Amino acid sequence: MSEHKIASIIRKQEWPCVSFVRGMIVFAACLYLIPQMSSLFREGLLINKQSVLFVPPVQYVKMMSGTFESFFADLFYIRGLLAMGDEIAETQEKVQWVQENFHTALELDPQLSEAYFFAGVVIAKDEASIKKGIVFLEKNSHLNPTQWRIPYWIGFNYYQLGNYLKAIEYYEKASKLPGARFFLKKIQPMLYYEAGESDLGIIYLESLLNSLNDEKEREAIQKKIEWLKGISSLEQSIAQFKARYGSLPSDLETLVRYGMIPGVPKDPFGRGYYLDQETGKVKSKLGPYPEDESEH
């Protein structure tokens, strides 16, 4: 074999080795450059992309999902949950975005009842969004007409807005639906009291008392009637005092001193009634929710 041939064979044998080394160098360079480029894109080369908050019309999604409708509902439900964490400067736009996703999820699968809670209650943080929460819950309540929690959440939103009579209306509606918790009935007199309608609260409680058989429950309701009656009679006497002397009494004992009541009635919940000078209302020292605070 000539020298020339041997040299050529050696070159040929070297070649794959050189190629491998070159390949490795290129591979290592790629391995280094890919994460570098990625971080450059993330930090340095940001394109000002405007996010499009688009939810496809629900009827189209329904048509296109075939037998996978329920799965698409899940995806929109998850999208709604993730949207709650999105950083959107405009609060109302974010509320709208979250609600549209949950609305689509509910239309596709009405049994995703927690969607009502997230889109109607959790997302509502200020007055405008609470109102949007109410609209959302009312708009979608027809999908779950027997679900007691939906009117309860609407009532809760009205309660947050300070519209106690509307809250009572929805709590009443919720309390009549299957599976409703008893606190929905018990809480209503407190709301009548908050709304300054203690007499309506007494009427409501008396009708409730007639529908109850359980002795313990009857006892609790009777206690509440007694409590509201105390407030009601004291408020009537305060109104008479104001009509007669032109101002509010300094405290409830003043009414006794002026002979308008024989004595301050006993507060069945313990620490006694007092007159709130700012609002002119009689309040209980235990606060407005002596029994239902935890449940509410």
Partner 1 sequence: MRRLLSIICLNFKEATRDKIFAGVVFFFIFYLGFCILLGELSWGHSDKVLRNAGLVGIELTTILLIIFSFTLGFFRDKETRILEVYLSNVGRATYLTGKILAYVLIVFFYLFFSGMVYSLVLYFKDAFSPFALAALYPMFLKIVIVIGITSIFSCLLSSSTLALLSTIFVYVASELGASALKIVSMEKEPVRKAWLDLIYSFLPNMDKLDIKSLAVHNQIPSFEYFVWMTVYAGIYILFLWLINIFIFQRKEYY
State the Cα angle at 26 between 23 and 32, rounded to 5°.
140
Query: According to CB under 8 A, which residues from 65 to 84 bind partner 1?
Result: 66-71, 74, 77-78, 81-82
What's the closest the beta carbon of residue 85 comes to partner 1, in angstroms? 11
- Closest distance of CB 283 from partner 1, Å: 37
Closer of 51 and 59 to partner 1 (Cβ): 59
Residue 100 or 109: the one with the smaller Cβ distance to partner 1 is 109
- 69 vs 199 by CB, closer to partner 1: 69
The nearest distance, CB 112 to partner 1, in angstroms, is 6
Q: Which is nearer to partner 1, 86 or 251 (CB)?
A: 86
CA–CA dist 87, 133 (Å, integer): 19
Instruction: List Cβ<8 Å contacts ≥24 apart for 151-160.
Output: 151/177, 152/180, 152/184, 153/116, 153/117, 153/120, 153/121, 154/120, 156/121, 157/120, 157/121, 157/124, 157/130, 157/131, 157/133, 158/134, 159/191, 160/124, 160/130
118 near partner 1, rule: CB under 8 A: yes
Which residues have CB under 8 Å from 183's CB, separation 6+?
Answer: 292, 295, 296
Residues 7-66 that bind partner 1 (CB under 8 A): 62-64, 66
- The footprint of partner 1 (CB under 8 A) covers 62-64, 66-71, 74, 77-78, 81-82, 109, 111-112, 114-115, 117-118
